[in-house]
Amino acid sequence: MTTTTRSLLALASLLAFVVRLGHAAPAVPDGAPLAVLGGERGWILLLLLAVWSYDTGAFLVGSRFGRERFLTHISPSKTYAGLVGGVVAATVVAGILLVGLEQSPLHALLLGPLVALAAQAGDLAESMLKRAAGAKDSGTLIPGHGGMLDRVDSFLFAAPVTTLYVVAFIA
């Protein structure tokens, strides 16, 4: 087994934290706006939407206002403006979902940036693996999207961070 294959398997194993998040997260009170989802699905939804909002916010703000790039040797299109836009988007979405789960939205001030930075780290780790393997994309299953790993790379680091935050500070 090659080093790249072992690295990919190790990264993929981090998705187990999504399951752990569902089991470790506190129950959602009956009167909460997201009570219909239940505790497991509500907290996993928070993870999904926070990561997606980070990616979307980073792309929109970075493509519109991004001039100064960072870590171009790993991923040439990342900008500081995109990073800030993504952090703000993830924080706002985390706050909204925390309200829906009847938790203090103040948690979003720490959880939002943590999820955002972890999502960025997952994306950069996947880019490093592609560079090491000499590949532009991680697969061809989804044409135009860089492969399956590109669809989940942000979750690989964000899932453990979210789970550990919820267990340590909310549950």
* pLDDT under 70: residue ranges of the chain: 4, 7-8, 11, 130-151
Read off the pLDDT of residues 123-139 as tens digits, 9 standing for 90 and up. 888 777 766 666 555 55
76 CB burial (10 A radius; 0-12, 13-18, 19+) = exposed
Model pTM score:
0.86
- 57: Cα within 13 Å, side-chain hemisphere: 25
